[in-house]
Amino acid sequence: MQAKILFSYGKKVIDVTLNLNVPIIAIFEELKGKLDMQGKADDYILWHGKTHPIVPVPIGSIGINREKPIVVFILKKDFKTIDSYLNNYFPNLVAEALQAPKDGLYILSELSRYYNIISFLNDPELKNAVDKVYPRSLFEHLEPYEKLKQITNWFCTQFFQKYGIPPCHVCGQPTIYAGPAPVIPDELGGHPLSAEIFKCPICGAATRYTKFTNPIVILMNHTGRELEHCLGLASILKYTGFQFRFVLIDLKFHILEVYIPSMKRYVSVDPYVNRIDCPLLYECGCNQDVTWAIAYSEKECIDVSTRYVYNRNEFNARRYKLDYADWLTKALSFKHQVLIQGASDSFKQTIRNDKETLLDEKKPTDNELTNPLL
C-alpha cells in the first residue's frame, strides 16, 4: 500500500511516497541525504506523536496518523532533554488546542509565519548585500551599547526611509489607497508578503507598493514599513557581532531586542521610530495596553510581556480575562524548549541573564512618554 509521508529534520521538510511495508531503515540513507542529516540510523529516533526507534519493521506498523502523516527525526542526545515535553507536555497541548479559542491559535499562526520570514536572514548572499551599504569603519571602535545607538541612528536617519502613502509616480501628486493587489511573478524573488495599489485622483495612474521580506531586496530598496525596518536593521546587526531577536507586540508593533553583555539583558530597538531601550513606549507613549510581547529567533520563543508593561496589576487583569492565555503560554513555552536545544551554552546563559530582568519595574522616561508617530 502506497502513502505520502512528510519527513522532517531541523528546518527541512520533504514529502515521500512509499510502500508502507518498507522498513524505515531501508530508506534511511536516502532520507539522510535529502534532510542534511549526519551520522547513522542508530543516532536518531522517530517522533510522530509518540517516539519510535529506527528498527527494521515496516513503516506502516508504527501507527502514523493518516490525516497528518508527518515523521520527525530527532537526535537521541537532544531527545533526552525534550522527552518529557514531547511525550507528556505536547499531547496535552494538542488536545487543548482542539478547544482553544481562535484568537490564541491566530497569534500562534502569525508567529509561525514570521519564523518563516526570519529564516531568509540565512541567505549566504546577505553579507555581500550588507557590505555594500553598511559604513563599518564609522562604528567599529565603539562600545556595544553606544555602537548599537549609533548604528540605529544612522540606519533611521541616513539610510532607510519610511514608506507611507506614495506620491503618484507619473505626476507626483498625492495618491489614495485603492486596495490590495495580487503579487506578480516578477516579485517572487523578493518573497512578497502582500501588495497594495494607490490611485492618483488627478491623472488616474496606479502606483504599486509591494511588501518584500527578502532582506537583500529590502537593503537594496532601503524603504518600507515596520517589518522591513526590522529585517533591514537585523541584516546589519547579524554581521556586526550583536545577538538580537525580534519582538511581536500584540500583532501591532514589530521591533527588535539586542543583547548588551555589560547590562546582562536585552534592550528594545525600534528602528521604525529610532528609539533604543524604550520598552514602555507602547503603553505610555502609544496608549497601547500590552497583553502579549513575544520575543523570537531561530533558537528561542519567549514571553517578554512584563518588560513592555507599566502597570502590572492591569496587565495581570487583562491576561486573566483571556480564555486562551494559559494555553498560549504553554504553547510558547513548548516551542521555546524545542528551539533552545540547538543553542550554545553561552546563548542559554544570555537567556537566563535576561530572564532575571524581566520583572524589573521602572518609570517611563521622556522618550517613552511621547508618541514618535504624532
Please tell me the predicted confidence (pLDDT) of residue 86: 54
For residue range 132-156, what is the model confidence (pLDDT) as tens digits?
Answer: 999 999 999 999 999 999 999 999 9
pLDDT above 90: residue 74: no
For residue range 248-305, what is the model confidence (pLDDT) as tens digits?
Answer: 999 999 999 999 999 999 999 999 999 999 999 999 999 999 999 999 999 999 999 9
Predicted model pTM: 0.77
- Given this chain, do its domains 2-99 and 107-124+242-369 carry the same CATH topology? no
pLDDT above 90: residue 5: no
Whole-number average pLDDT of the chain: 88
What is the edge-to-edge ordering of all strands in the sheet holding 51-53? 12-19, 2-9, 70-75, 44-47, 51-53
Question: Between 221 and 92, where is the model more confident?
Answer: 221
The values of phi and psi at residue 23, to 5°, are: -70, 140
pLDDT above 80: residue 67: no
CATH assignment of 2-99, given 3.40.50.720, 3.30.465.10, 3.10.20.90, 1.10.3720.10?
3.10.20.90
Q: What number does CATH give the domain 107-124+242-369?
A: 3.10.620.30
Please tell me the predicted confidence (pLDDT) of residue 318: 96
The closest alpha carbon to 370, from 281, 292, 299, belongs to: 281
In angstroms, rounded to a whole number, what is the distance separating the alpha carbons of residues 5 and 22? 13
Please tell me the predicted confidence (pLDDT) of residue 200: 97
For residue range 210-237, what is the model confidence (pLDDT) as tens digits?
Answer: 999 999 999 999 999 999 999 999 999 9
pLDDT above 70: residue 87: no
Please tell me the predicted confidence (pLDDT) of residue 353: 97
For residue range 159-175, what is the model confidence (pLDDT) as tens digits?
Answer: 999 998 999 999 999 99
Cα angle at 225 between 191 and 277, to 5 degrees?
115
Please tell me the predicted confidence (pLDDT) of residue 11: 66
In angstroms, rounded to a whole number, what is the distance separating the alpha carbons of residues 91 and 35? 25
Please tell me the predicted confidence (pLDDT) of residue 55: 61
Read off the pLDDT band of 56 (50, 70, 90): low
CB count within 10 Å of CB 179 equals 8
Q: How is the chain split into domains, by residue range?
A: 2-99, 107-124+242-369
